[in-house]
Amino acid sequence: MRLISVNRCQPGQKIAKSIYTNNGTVLIGAGVVLTQRMINRLQEYHISAVYIDDELTSDIIVQDVVSEQTRQEAMGIISETFKAYQIDPKRWRQLPGNQQIGQKFRHAVLSIIDELKGNQVAMNLLGSVGGVDNYVFYHSFHVTLYAISLGVKMGLNQKELTELGMGAILHDIGKMAIPQEILTKPGKLTDEEYKIMQKHTEYGFELLRKEDDIPLLAAHCAYQHHERCDGSGYPRGLVESEIHRYGKILGICDVFDAMTTSRIYRKAMLPHEAMEELFLGTGRLYNQQMVEHFRDTIALYPIGLTVTLNTGEEGIVVDYNRGVPSRPIIRVIKEPNGERISSPYEIDLSKHLNIMIASCDYIL
Burial class, 234, CB count within 10 angstroms (exposed 0-12 / middle 13-18 / buried 19+): middle
273 closest CA partner among 350, 359, 355: 359
283 closest CA partner among 291, 273, 275: 291
Residue of 90, 175, 185, 248 marked active site: 175
Give the span between the Cα atoms of 323 and 78, in whole angstroms.
32
Give the span between the Cα atoms of 51 and 158, in whole angstroms.
34
Give the span between the Cα atoms of 224 and 253, in whole angstroms.
13
**Is 334 considered catalytic here?**
no
Give the span between the Cα atoms of 205 and 25, in whole angstroms.
29
Give the span between the Cα atoms of 28 and 255, in whole angstroms.
28
Q: What secondary structure letter does DSSP report for 108?
A: H
Give the span between the Cα atoms of 168 and 64, in whole angstroms.
20
282: three-class secondary structure by DSSP:
strand
167 closest CA partner among 117, 123, 101, 223: 223
Q: At what angle do helices 245-259 and 158-169 cross, to 10 degrees?
A: 50
Sign of the four-CA dihedral 263, 267, 271, 273: negative
Residue type at 228 in one-letter notation? R
Catalytic residues: 175
